[in-house]
Amino acid sequence: GKNEEALKDFASLVALKPRYPNGWRHKGLLHERLKQDQESIQCFSEAIKHFPDDYTNYLSRGTVYVRKNDFENAIKDFTKIILLQPKSGEGYYARSEAYGKSNRLAEALADINKAIEFSPDNGQAYNNRGIIHSMSGKFPEAVNDFTRSLELKPDNLAAYTNRALAY
């Protein structure tokens, strides 16, 4: 579409009303979609400044940090989600991925276990735990998790691939 026009509109919106609930967030999401990571991070940071208790901005910024391989900042943002939403698995799930990608497998496993505890029907969480088990050389456990993932989400192509590789 007309991304430049959309960015101008978001710039006008946040200039007129910096504390508009979704202005900075939506501008950041557009920058993220355009792979403009630094601009995206700046927008999410501005949203956090205005709305420090809205966990979605930490999730969005942390996701961009993961894409940039800036795992330490991603982990900080995902930890903030856990502090804001202690009864939700979303922060644990996201932080587990950042730990896994930074090869901190024990921490990744602890977090994905917590995410599964909160959301036992999340097939993707079992797939991710299977990946952690595979990375740790625990292939029977990995196969069990990929199988559970497929029971919950039969169209999860990644789980089929991962299970085949773990056999």
Give the model confidence (pLDDT) of 81-94 as tens digits.
Answer: 999 999 999 999 99
Half-sphere exposure of 41 (CA within 13 A, CB side): 14
Task: Report whether pLDDT(79) > 90.
Answer: yes
The model's confidence at residue 39, banded by pLDDT at 50, 70 and 90, is very high
Q: Judge whether 128 and 97 are in contact, CB under 8 Å.
A: yes
pLDDT band at 20 (very low <50, low <70, confident <90, very high): confident
pLDDT at 98: 98
User: What pLDDT sits at residue 3?
Assistant: 85
Please state the rounded mean pLDDT for residues 62-83. 98
Residue 11: pLDDT over 90: no
Per-residue pLDDT reduced to its tens digit, 146-167? 999 999 999 999 999 999 999 9
Contacts 24+ apart (CB under 8 A), 24-33: 24/50, 24/57, 25/54, 25/56, 25/57, 25/60, 28/57, 28/60, 28/61, 29/60, 30/3, 30/6, 31/7, 32/60, 32/63, 32/64
pLDDT level of residue 19 (50, 70, 90 thresholds): confident
pLDDT for residue 138 = 98
DSSP alpha helix (H) spans, the chain = 3-16, 23-33, 37-50, 55-67, 71-84, 90-101, 105-118, 123-135, 139-152, 157-166
Average pLDDT, the chain: 95
Q: Hey, CA dihedral for 33, 94, 91, 81, is it positive or negative?
A: negative
Maximum CA extent, the chain: 58
CA angle 70, 98, 149 (to 5 degrees): 150
Residue 158 corresponds to which tokens in the numbers above? 């990644």
Q: How far apart are CA 25 and CA 54, in angstroms?
A: 10
Determine contact, residues 158/146, Cβ cutoff 8 Å. no
pLDDT in tens, 129-143: 999 999 999 999 999
Q: For residue 40, give every residue at least 6 positions away whose Cβ sits within 8 Å of its Cβ, in sequence order, or none.
A: 28, 29, 31, 32, 60, 61, 64
Output the pTM of the full model: 0.90
